[in-house]
Structure 1
Amino acid sequence: MTYKPVTHVLFDMDGLILNTEDLYTIGFQEIASRFGKCFTYDLKVKIMGQQSNELAKSIIDALDLPMTVEEFVSESRVIFEKLFPHCKVMPGIEKLIRHLVDNNIPIGLATSSSIESYNLKTRNHFELFDLFAYKTWGSSDPEVKRGKPYPDIFLVAAAKFPDKPAAEKCLVFEDSVNGVEAALAAGMPVVMVPAPALDSSLSGRATLALPSAELFRPEMFGLPPYTD
């Protein structure tokens, strides 16, 4: 199967490039446990891709936690300062990023993380993330007014490419339902690489859904094929 050809590629980060979504689950459950609450996977699916303050409010409201947004963000920051430096790169994704760069395909990072959170997560992966000439941190960029599932972050990220490609020429890689909806709302095709625990019916709106980035074939979207 082939799809309309693209010329540029945008990548989400959490859960797509790095396994930080696993660490978010650990950290948020640590906070919830103090109040005898459970941070469920269903709640996780609903908040993935939201900006920091949006996410904090969603968890507080859903679990009825006796905290302010500021308190939740502050407490979670302390927890993640310990967890994030241990994150790992997801299978197949580094090969894809390096392949695109080697073939002069413009790539951009579009993460809902703040720049401070990004620096923690990428501390041991600077070489890989230095390959991105264009980066957008949704929780730090004033131009990104709303988090996913709104299209803001992808529209802002695509606008950073000097040649201003049309939305349909920008392929998005995402792992979350909210991220897929954001890409589609921006008018962009999207490849979803969901977590194994996600109900497969929730990935149906993606242009293409794959269990691993290792299975992606660039030529399906008119990009240069792998040579090995």
Structure 2
Amino acid sequence: MEQPVKISHVIFDMDGLLLDTENIYTKATQQICDRFDKVYSFDLKRQIMGMRGDEATKTIISQLELDISAEAFSKEMEQSIPDMFKLADSMPGADKLVRHLSKHNIPIAVCTGSNQTNLALKTTKHRDLFTLFHHVVTCSDDPEITFGKPHPQPYHVTLSRFDEAAAIDPSQVLVFEDSPNGVLSAKAAGMHTVMVPDPRLEDQYRTDADMVLDSLELFKPELWSLPPF
């Protein structure tokens, strides 16, 4: 990786990156698919990772030809996962990195495909950690967002809510993502990306990121002109 310009701001995805919630989504989705004798494969999961909730639901129904409306599917998901969300743990290295950046006054934010209701549930065990973020953008119900990832709009909106946003150079923003759609969204917005993918993700879906790590625990801030641990 070539040495990038000095990073001034950092944005994190949430599901599968900061919080270990992807397995919860998988389990709840497969429970619905079981009724139709369909398998929610990792290949399909890869396609929807990072999408807004409504877009992901429509894609699953279409790809698997499920005889269920998007509204009914979403309602079932909402009924089955709240208790599981409340128990979500942080991903390895996430807590340490967020607190480190906050301690050194690096402005940080979250850009997630989730909605406000699920955000509150998922962060039940992490309230203090999420107070460190300047802001959190929930793409599924944010009034300014009409396109989800991989469209650049989610990251454009997230950037716009930092203080003095007009003066921020997108190339000085570092985004952490776990999904190909998220990486494409951030890159389209002109930002640098560090990808921490699911280990099952094939190599061809890792090539768009500036850096790929097996875990946030392996991230070295000094490589991005950020204060070292």
- The TM-score, its normalising length taken from structure 1, stands at 0.97
Q: Distance in 1 between matches of 2:132 and 2:7?
A: 19
Aligned equivalent of 2:180, options 177, 182, 188: 177
Amino acid at match of 1:106: P
CA offsets 1:23-74 (integer angstroms, 9 cap, x no match): 1111111110011100000000000111111111000001111111111110
CA displacement at 1:3 relative to structure 2: 2.5
Give the aligned partner of residue 223 of structure 1. Answer: 226
Q: Distance in 2 between matches of 1:125 and 1:25?
A: 22
Contact 2:134 2:162 in 1 (8 A): no
RMSD between aligned residues: 0.9
Q: Pick which of 81-90 and 14-23 moved more.
A: 81-90
Q: Distance in 2 between matches of 1:8 and 1:141?
A: 21
Give the aligned partner of residue 4 of structure 1. Answer: 5
The alignment status of 1:187 with 2:193, answered yes or no, reads: no
Secondary structure of the structure 1 residue equivalent to 2:125 = coil
Secondary structure of the structure 1 residue equivalent to 2:137 = strand
Give the aligned partner of residue 75 of structure 2. Answer: 74
Give the aligned partner of residue 108 of structure 2. Answer: 107
Give the aligned partner of residue 93 of structure 1. Answer: 94
Structure 1 residue runs of 4+, over 3 Å off? none
Q: Distance in 2 between matches of 1:171 and 1:144?
A: 20
Q: Distance in 1 between matches of 2:102 and 2:143?
A: 28
Give the aligned partner of residue 210 of structure 1. Answer: 213
> Structure 1: which 5+ residue stretches go unaligned?
none
The alignment status of 1:168 with 2:171, answered yes or no, reads: yes
Give the aligned partner of residue 137 of structure 1. Answer: 138
CA displacement at 1:12 relative to structure 2: 0.3
CA displacement at 1:93 relative to structure 2: 1.1
Q: Distance in 2 between matches of 1:200 and 1:225?
A: 29
- The TM-score, its normalising length taken from structure 2, stands at 0.97
The alignment status of 1:59 with 2:60, answered yes or no, reads: yes
Amino acid at match of 1:84: F
Amino acid at match of 1:223: L
Q: Distance in 1 between matches of 2:30 and 2:179?
A: 19
How many percent identity over aligned positions?
Answer: 43
Q: Distance in 1 between matches of 2:226 and 2:143?
A: 32
Secondary structure of the structure 1 residue equivalent to 2:158 = helix
Amino acid at match of 2:76: E
CA displacement at 1:4 relative to structure 2: 2.3
Secondary structure of the structure 2 residue equivalent to 1:125 = helix
